[in-house]
């Protein structure tokens, strides 16, 4: 066996071990959710030896999970659309238009990375309360619309487009909106898709801000709602695992379908922040 092949085998073994360590908690959650409570307490085995879907039926029938799904999907979609649209237009202005204070504005966008998001929560909550938006969708949505990485990524790609293409469209009578939506956007569909996926996942997984601004169960999102499910007779392990898996299912399925785009978006975001 050559040294190169030995290194490849060692690397493959390390990757497989790391993958097993990463996936084991998900596997354990699945096996727990498919057992009865008595079996969970009496047997600590990790093999799937029982297919009991009562925990899933109980969660779907007795909790407000469908309503929490609706809240999470609705707020996450609105956040994603608004973030991409406003970020795209802001990046286009910073990249292609010439106006006083353009560089200063871009520096402010870049400098916003230095401000920790939790440091803004008190001011944001006071503002939402003054606007009577506590316990509403817009109270959840508005503070999450500030995503400077979207502006920076779009600007970098808009800067790379040859100005001759812009001048040709202007000579044909096209305006700025025609340039943005019929020239620049089609040339960056891949970036738009990647940013849309990672923005949606980030909004879906956000826990702390919705936890602060929502006060009723009917307005809770998935991450907040699953913390409210309790059992009067103690911890219901199967029910909790079933609820957690149902809550994570859309993100897991979305990642499996759009894995390449998600990886691309993470790399782009990490490159900008680095």
Q: What is the pLDDT of residue 8?
A: 81
- Cα–Cα–Cα angle for 62, 67, 72, rounded to 5 degrees: 130
Asked if residue 58 is part of any domain, the answer here is no
Whether 231 and 195 map to the same domain: the answer is yes
The Cα angle at residue 91 between residues 89 and 95, in degrees rounded to 5: 120
Q: Do both 14 and 129 map to the same domain?
A: no
User: Between 193 and 72, whose confidence is greater?
Assistant: 72
Say yes or no: 73 and 161 in one domain.
yes
Residue 193: pLDDT above 90? Answer: no
The single residue listed with the structure tokens 């230095």 is 114
Residue with tokens 């409570």: 37
Continuous segment of H or E residues that includes residue 95: helix 65-96
Instruction: Report the share of the chain in percent with pLDDT over 70.
Output: 88
- Calculate mean pLDDT across residues 137-142: 94
pLDDT class for 251, splitting at 50, 70, 90?
Answer: confident
Q: Is the pLDDT score of 261 beyond 90?
A: no
**193 and 93 within one domain:** yes
Helix-strand-coil split of the chain, %, nearest 5: 80, 0, 20
Domain shared by 73 and 177, yes or no: yes
Nearest to 45 by CA among 36, 26, 30, 32: 32
> Is 157 part of any domain?
yes
For residue 202, the domain's CATH number is 1.10.3720.10
The whole-chain average pLDDT of the chain stands at 82
Q: What is the DSSP secondary structure assignment for residue 123, as one 8-state letter?
A: H
Cα–Cα distance, 84 to 99 (Å, whole number): 22
Provide the pLDDT confidence category of residue 258 given band limits of 50, 70 and 90. Answer: confident
Whether the per-residue pLDDT at 232 is higher than 50: the answer is no
pLDDT at 209: 92
164 is in which domain, residue-wise?
64-273
Is 59 domain-assigned? Answer: no
Quick check: 128 pLDDT over 70? yes
Q: Is the pLDDT of residue 80 over 90?
A: yes
Residue 1 has pLDDT above 80, yes or no: no
| pLDDT exceeds cutoff 60 at 217 | yes
Residue 57 lies in a domain: no
Q: Is the pLDDT of residue 233 over 50?
A: no
d(CA 218, CA 225): 9
With CA atoms as reference, report the closest residue to 144 among 66, 201, 67: 201
Residue 221 has pLDDT above 70, yes or no: yes
pLDDT at 34 over 60: yes
Helix (H, G, I), strand (E, B) or coil at 220: coil
């Amino acid at each position: 066996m050559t040294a190169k092949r030995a290194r490849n085998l060692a690397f493959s073994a390390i990757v497989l071990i790391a993958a097993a360590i990463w996936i084991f908690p998900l596997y354990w959650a699945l096996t727990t959710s498919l057992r009865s409570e008595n079996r969970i307490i009496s047997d600590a085995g990790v093999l799937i030896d029982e297919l009991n879907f009562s925990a899933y039926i109980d969660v779907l029938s007795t909790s407000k999970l469908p309503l929490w799904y609706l809240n999470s999907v609705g707020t996450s979609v609105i956040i994603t659309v608004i973030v991409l649209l406003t970020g795209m237009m802001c990046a286009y202005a910073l990249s292609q238009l010439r106006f006083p204070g353009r560089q200063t504005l871009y520096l402010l966008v870049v400098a916003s990375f230095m401000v920790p998001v939790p440091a803004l929560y008190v001011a944001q909550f006071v503002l939402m309360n003054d606007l009577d938006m506590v316990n509403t969708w817009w109270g959840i949505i508005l503070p999450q619309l500030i995503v400077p990485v979207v502006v920076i990524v779009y600007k970098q790609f808009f800067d790379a487009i040859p100005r001759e293409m812009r001048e040709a469209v202007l000579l044909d009578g096209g305006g700025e909106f025609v340039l943005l939506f019929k020239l620049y956007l089609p040339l960056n569909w891949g970036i738009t898709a990647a940013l849309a996926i990672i923005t949606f996942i980030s909004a879906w997984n956000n826990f702390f801000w919705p936890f602060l601004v929502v006060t009723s169960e009917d307005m809770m999102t998935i991450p907040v709602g699953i913390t409210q499910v309790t059992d009067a007779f103690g911890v219901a392990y199967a029910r909790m695992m079933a609820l957690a898996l149902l809550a994570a299912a859309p993100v897991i399925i979305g990642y499996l379908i759009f894995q390449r785009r998600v990886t691309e978006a993470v790399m782009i975001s990490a490159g900008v922040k680095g």
